[in-house]
Amino acid sequence: MVILVVFSVLPIVVALVASFTDLDLRGLRDWSLIEFIGLDNYDRLLGDPRFRAAAGNTVIFVLDGVPLIVVCSLAAALMVNYGSSRLFRVYRAFFFLPAITNIVAVAFIWGFLYNTDSGLINLILSWGGVAPVPWLDQPVMAKVSVIIVAVWQGCGYNMLIFVAALQGIPREFYEAAQVDGANAWRRFFSITLPQLRFATFFVAVTTSISWIQLFETPLVLTHGGPLDSTMSMALFIYRNGFERNRFGYGSAASFLLFLVVVTVTAIQFKLRRQDSNV
């Protein structure tokens, strides 16, 4: 309990208090310089076009990323669950590898792959006669590139959750369906998907939370550019708080982000409860 308060509740309270002040680097050293400015930070935040752009980007990231993760990790889970030979175990390890690889290294390597002139991806595309794609140099493309990397990295972990859930589905269901003459598609939609309902919900919630806070991938890959097209809310907080030492302003933004996470999670749980009551 003490640990929960010290490491979880206290930082939130501190951030909340700091968000009502003009705290900066000098203020941290000499507390007498800190002034309470009420809701000014929030007022400015909501009027800051960059914050709104970051919020908009985050919405796009979540709306694209979460469905993609659910679909990709489920597809991967079905594939590796198809057999149990050594080959499938190798596949499983292969899909899981991105999830346990350091994000900085991942983004660094992807940065090389994405390079417009010398990247491997454009080289391969050029064999097919495709003109160089500006993966990270153009606002829309950069957003796509960041989503690709984050999906690629997020799939492995969620695949494991789906694999575990798949293995928990009683075999008898399938046998009975087969006897009734249901084909593979029918079996998938009538047995597998409904049985995976809780796993899907879990994956959707955890992925939403982590994508709302998407941070390292754009930080290392694009630093939020070009033209702030990959600036997520978390990256906005980092750049204001730690690159510009505007701790008060950053705290206000992070408290808003915290509220968003709580709200989204609450809504999802609510939906889930309604769903299971039906």
Partner 1 sequence: MKRRTAVVVALGAALALAVSGCADGASGDSTPSGTSLTGPIEVWVMGNKGPAMEAVAAGFSAETGVTVLVQAIPWGDVRTKMSTAIVSGQGPDVLQVGLDRVAEWADAGGLLDLTDRVADYPELQADNFFPASASTMSYDGRTMTVPWIADTRVLFYRSDLLEEVGLSQPPADWTQWQAAALALSQRGEGKYGMGFNVNDVNTPLILTWSAGGDIEADGELSFTSQQYRQAVEFEHSFFADGLTPARALADADLIAGFKDGSIPMFISGPYMTRSLADQAPELKGQWSVAPIPAQQSSTSLMAGSNLGVFAFSDHVDAALAFIAYLDRRDVQLAWNSTTFDLPAAQGALELLIGDANVAVYHQQMNSAKPVPITADWGAVAQEITRASEQINLGGMTVDQALAELTAQVAAI
Is 226 near partner 1 (CB under 8 A)? Answer: yes
Which of 17, 60, 78, 115 contacts partner 1 by CB under 8 A?
115
Q: Which of 75, 109, 227, 266 binds partner 1 (CB under 8 A)?
A: 227
Q: Are 113 and 120 in contact, with CB atoms under 8 Å apart? A: yes
Binding segment for partner 1 (CB under 8 A), chosen from 25-33, 79-87, 167-175, 249-257, is: 25-33
Q: What's the distance, CA 271 to chain centroid?
A: 21
Torsions phi, psi of 184, nearest 5? -60, -40
43-72 positions binding partner 1, by CB under 8 A: none
Q: Can residue 30 be called a binding residue for partner 1 (CB under 8 A)?
A: yes
**242 touching partner 1, by CB under 8 A:** yes
Torsion angle (degrees, nearest 10) of CA 158, 160, 164, 169: 60
Q: Is 22 in the site for partner 1 (CB under 8 A)?
A: no
Of the two residues 126 and 167, which places its CB atom closer to partner 1 in the complex?
A: 126
CB 70 within 8 A of CB 200: yes
Report which residue type is found at 245.
N
User: What is the distance between the alpha carbons of residues 237 and 248, in angstroms, rounded to a whole number?
Assistant: 10
Taking CB under 8 A as the binding criterion, the range among 12-20, 171-179, 208-216, 221-229 that sits at the site for partner 1 is 221-229
Three-state DSSP at 36 gives: strand
Nearest to 135 by CA among 152, 154, 148: 148
> From CA 58, how far away is CA 84, in angstroms rounded?
39
Token digits of residue 36: 């309470």
d(Cα 256, Cα 229) in Å, to the nearest integer?
20
Least distance from partner 1 to the Cβ atom of residue 236, Å: 12
Size of the site for partner 1 (CB under 8 A): 21
Of the candidate residues 89, 197, 244, 270, the single one contacting partner 1 (CB under 8 A): 244
CB 121 within 8 A of CB 133: yes
Using the rule CB under 8 A, is 118 a contact of partner 1?
yes
**Which stretch in 23-31, 85-93, 205-213, 255-263 sits in contact with partner 1 by CB under 8 A?**
23-31
User: Of 29, 86, 171, 273, which lies in the binding site for partner 1, with binding defined by CB under 8 A?
Assistant: 29
Q: What residues make contact with partner 1 under the rule CB under 8 A?
A: 25-26, 28-30, 115-118, 134, 137-139, 225-227, 239, 242-245
